[in-house]
Each structure stands twice: as C-alpha cells, then as structure tokens.
Amino acid sequence: MKLNSVLFFMLAALLVFSVGLATAQEMTKEQWQQEITKFTKTRDDLQGQLKALGTQITDGTAMSAKLDKDCETCMNELYALVGSDAEKAAAYRAEVDAAEAKANELMRLSDADLMARSGEVAELEAKVKELWGNKLSLIPEFWDRLTAIDTKVKSLQDTLAKQVKVYTVGTWAQDRDCLWNISKKPDIYDNAWLWPRIWQGNRDQIKDPDVIKQGMKLTIPKGTEMSAEEKTAARKYYSRKAAAAAAAAAAMAPAAAPAQTPPPAPAK
C-alpha cells in the first residue's frame, strides 16, 4: 500500500510538471503523446519493481518462519539431550536473569556498601553453584552467561578480601572489649564512632550490638567511611537507646536531667 501511494504521487508530480511545461510552451500532439508514453513506461517499471519487492517480502517472510521453526525444533532437541524441555528452560532462564541482575547490582556498589552487603555475595555464589548443578547449564546460552556471572562473583570476592581484617573478641575484664572500644583501637579504626561498621559487617554473629562474646571472630571492614546502611543502622540504634534512657529516667526521677546515650555494652 505504501509503495502504491508513492507511485501515485510520483506520477501525479510528473503530470503536474508536464502541465506546467505545457502552459509555459505549447506542445504538439506528437510531443504530448511521447511524454505520455514515457510516463506510462515509468509507471510500468515502478509497478514491476513493486511486484518484485512484494515477492521478495513474501519469500523472506516464509524463510523467516521456516528458520524460526527449525530453530525451535533444534532447541527442543537440545533441551531433550539434557533431559529438559522448553518450559523448564524458560524457568531456568528466569533464575539466570535474576542472578545476573543481582551480580550487576552488587558490582555497582561502593566498597563500603559492598562490605555491608557481603552476605549477598555469598548468597549469590551459592545460587550460581546451584544453577551450575542443573544440566541446562551445558547449553551454550546458559554456559556463557553463568561463566560471566562467575567472573563477577570472583571480582566481588576479591574486593571483599582486600577489605577484610579479623579481630578475635577478648573479655571485658581483661581487654575491655566492646564494639566501641574495639573500633577506637589504633590498629582498627582509631575512631570509636565507627563501631557500627563492625556491627553491620558481622550481622550473622551480632544480633544485638550491645552483646558480643569472647572468642567471636569479627571481620573488620576496611575504610573509614560508613555506608548508607551503616549510618541508618546507627541512627536507629541511638534512637532506641535514647528513648529507653529517657523512659527509664522519667520513670525513676521525672525531674532529673535526661541520661546520655551510652556506647554499646562490653563483651561478656
């Protein structure tokens, strides 16, 4: 339809041009007939080209459909070789998509934020190992993508390894160990206020920052800047402590000045 419209407008333009010429100078009947013959030939040529293009489109569409069908058949045979099918492959592909998205998300984090979410790197590693355990991973599409994710996981682990230092918790009586005091040690952060970094970097062990136990091996995130997650956790901690202290002070001595927020409790 579009080519027909183009052909029509081309002929119309030619006729208008011819009329313009005819008005500019008189033409004999023989000259006019020659022009009409020429335009008719142009029209026929364009129609022939249009028909040829239509045939090519039809043939191309048929070839594309055949190739799509052949590809589908080939993939179904490939899935069958690993004991699977297209439906299971689609579900597996969705899992690979999710792992790929998680790897890309973690790769965009700053070192401090990555350290705060180090547990997610371990979870991703476990998920990728699970995906490799499926025979669908042998199919080139999935093999290549999982290999790329593995490379990103290794890069994330290398980044974390460069930032990690381990501190073994002592006792309060002998070492005066609490997150506050550990953080202010010269060989740790030399800054007591950075204690939330240790807390957030060891959430698998520390459920309550006021309670750490002798013998705990705490990873010490490298760097002297808190991540957004660590700052948020610290604000929530101080708010809870302030509220608890104010409530206790109000209950015992309403007229007394509000108690100051204490640092995290020592190790037990």
Name the residue ranges covered by the structural domains of the chain.
86-163, 169-252
d(CA 116, CA 113): 5
Mean pLDDT (the chain, rounded): 84
Per-residue pLDDT at 245: 86
Please tell me the total number of residues recorded for the chain in this structure. Answer: 268
Asked whether the beta carbons of 183 and 195 are under 8 A apart, the reply is yes
Q: What is the pTM of this model?
A: 0.49
Instruction: For residues 72-94, give the mean pLDDT.
Output: 89
| More confident site: 30 or 23 | 30
The confidence band for 62, taking pLDDT boundaries of 50, 70 and 90, is confident
Per-residue pLDDT at 262: 61
Least confident window among 108-112, 145-149, 263-267 = 263-267
Per-residue pLDDT at 117: 86
d(CA 165, CA 242): 31
% residues pLDDT > 70 (the chain): 84
